[in-house]
């Protein structure tokens, strides 16, 4: 059994040997340096339009040279020499025994650590000893599989910030994008930045950033899916009707050997203008924090961090997302919204008169929560169901006129309000909710009970935030 203190001591001794070997090679003049040229966007100005969420900016492209040690020297001369040290073999075997892995795996991990140390020593920086010590601490944490501190930054569309930032809790904030954010984006993915600015989407669409700090191992946090982030985005979509989507994500964690560690980034390449964007002001901060507290952790995800499709509320939420995010005709998006409402309000084994039952139940719940006219809701649902039936039977209408737009606005809002209601009534079974809605249509006392349940869960306040 290898003691942690014994392993730490061995790694420290090996680190000192790596430092000495690297400095020796450096003094011998055997290290060649390659000049790399990095192009990025440099902003002169950036003004935020708090009304539209657009950015008015001025920038130019700069190319900066940087001197980097030749990787061939790092790997073929220094690393290969270090691997011949007896101490390297000892540490490799200790890591294998300590972590219960084969020596090929421990050799991979140890080699990654050694290369990081070599690069740190070769940097023209007087602080390199501190960097090396930090690398050693990080490597030991990796071997212990200690929780990582993750910093996740998500470029969002669909939200307009009327204030510079809102803290949603101790670890989450939503804020305006800055010039530094876009400069960072251009350094990580210049082709994407150029395409975005060429298409003018950068100025109009992803000017809001969601920042999340969380702690956990890779298995717990599960990058790049990030369940916590996905739940937050789904919650933001429900807070108000908004086409809130991820455009670009960066995430960092201090690690050397673990997958999805430091400096990762990815884009969804979904460069579509947001159909529905809502504003967040200072006054919305408390409301949004309360909404997140009540809704976020009620959202169920699968093992891949996606909406749980086997859950009827999950199905409804997925169809809601289709209706507000997909770039399709109103008729198609009305169909998605109706499908979401069907998942909530229709039970298995029901026969006939689906459209009537659906319209009746939706109108009863939504009118009781919001005070809207029940007959108007009922009629809107009947019109929406006709469109949905055409969609399912293959004769999809491509109509995209004012009436279809009006129906979609109404039906998608009914779905949003109903999802929130079912989340808050999660201790009541779907069957009991449907039964209660039916009874409330016929019995005044049952209707009073329904209103009491809705008032108890403050559904009116939640859906009208």
Is the predicted pLDDT of residue 192 greater than 80, yes or no? no
Please tell me the predicted confidence (pLDDT) of residue 371: 93
**DSSP of 121-153:** HHSS-TTHHHHHHHHHHHHHHHHHTPPEEEEEE
Is the predicted pLDDT of residue 161 greater than 80, yes or no? yes
Please tell me the predicted confidence (pLDDT) of residue 228: 87
Please tell me the predicted confidence (pLDDT) of residue 125: 81
Q: Which of 65-69, 320-324, 442-446 has the highest mean pLDDT?
A: 320-324
Average pLDDT over residues 176-200: 81
C-alpha distances (whole Å) from 272 to each of 83, 186, 197, 267, 413 are 51, 19, 13, 13, 21
> Helix axis angle, 354-370 relative to 430-440, nearest 10°?
80
Return left, alpha or beta for 161; rule: phi > 0 is left, psi -120 to 50 is alpha, else beta: beta
Please tell me the predicted confidence (pLDDT) of residue 13: 96
DSSP H helices, 159-273, are 179-188, 190-198, 201-204, 218-221, 227-239
Please tell me the predicted confidence (pLDDT) of residue 124: 78
Is the predicted pLDDT of residue 336 greater than 60, yes or no? yes
Identify whether the C-beta of residue 421 lies closer than 8 Å to the C-beta of residue 463. yes
Is the predicted pLDDT of residue 270 greater than 80, yes or no? no
> pLDDT tens, 373-405?
999 999 999 999 998 887 676 665 556 688 889
Please tell me the predicted confidence (pLDDT) of residue 15: 97
pLDDT band at 265 (very low <50, low <70, confident <90, very high): low
pTM of the model: 0.88
pLDDT band at 63 (very low <50, low <70, confident <90, very high): very high
pLDDT band at 264 (very low <50, low <70, confident <90, very high): low
Identify whether the C-beta of residue 120 lies closer than 8 Å to the C-beta of residue 113. no
């Amino acid at each position: 059994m290898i003691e942690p203190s014994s392993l730490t001591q061995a790694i420290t001794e090996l680190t000192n040997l790596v430092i000495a070997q690297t400095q020796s090679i450096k003094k011998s003049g055997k290290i060649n340096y390659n000049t790399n040229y990095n192009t990025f966007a440099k902003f002169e100005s950036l003004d935020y339009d708090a009304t539209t969420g657009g950015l008015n900016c001025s920038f130019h492209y700069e190319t900066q040279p940087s001197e980097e040690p030749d990787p061939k020297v790092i790997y073929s001369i220094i690393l290969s020499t270090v691997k011949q040290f007896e101490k390297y073999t000892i540490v490799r075997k200790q890591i294998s025994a300590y972590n219960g892995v084969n020596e090929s795996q421990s050799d991979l991990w140890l080699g990654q650590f050694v290369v990081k140390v070599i690069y740190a020593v070769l940097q023209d920086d007087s602080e390199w000893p501190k960097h090396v010590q930090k690398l050693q601490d990080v490597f030991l944490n990796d071997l212990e599989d200690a929780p990582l501190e993750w910093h996740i930054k998500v470029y969002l569309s669909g939200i307009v910030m009327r204030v510079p930032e809102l803290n949603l809790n101790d670890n989450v904030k939503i804020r305006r994008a800055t010039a530094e954010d876009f400069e960072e984006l251009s350094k990580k993915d210049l082709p994407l930045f150029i395409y975005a600015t060429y298409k003018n989407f950068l100025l109009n669409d992803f000017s809001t950033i969601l920042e999340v700090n969380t702690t956990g191992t890779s298995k717990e946090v599960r990058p790049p899916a990030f369940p916590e982030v996905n739940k937050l985005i789904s919650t933001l979509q429900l807070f108000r009707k908004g086409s809130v989507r991820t455009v670009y994500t960066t995430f960092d964690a201090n690690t050397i050997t673990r997958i999805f560690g430091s400096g990762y980034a990815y884009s969804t390449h979904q460069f579509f203008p947001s159909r529905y964007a809502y504003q967040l002001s200072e006054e919305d901060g408390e409301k949004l924090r309360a909404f997140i507290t009540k809704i976020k952790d009620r959202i169920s995800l699968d093992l891949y961090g996606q909406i749980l499709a086997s859950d009827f509320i999950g199905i409804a939420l997925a169809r809601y997302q289709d209706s507000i995010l997909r770039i399709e005709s109103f008729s198609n998006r009305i169909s998605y919204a109706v499908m979401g409402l069907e998942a909530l309000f229709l039970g298995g084994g029901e026969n006939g008169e689906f459209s009537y039952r659906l319209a009746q139940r939706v109108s009863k719940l939504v009118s009781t929560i919001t005070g809207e006219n029940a007959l108007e809701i009922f009629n809107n649902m009947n019109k929406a169901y006709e469109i949905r039936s055409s969609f399912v039977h293959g004769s999809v209408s491509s109509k995209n006129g004012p009436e279809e737009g009006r129906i979609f606005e109404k039906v998608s809002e009914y779905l949003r309000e109903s999802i929130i209601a079912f989340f808050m009534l999660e201790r009541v079974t779907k069957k009991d909710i449907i039964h209660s809605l039916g009874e409330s249509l016929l019995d005044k006392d049952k209707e009073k009970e329904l209103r009491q349940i809705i008032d108890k869960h403050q559904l009116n306040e939640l859906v009208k935030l």
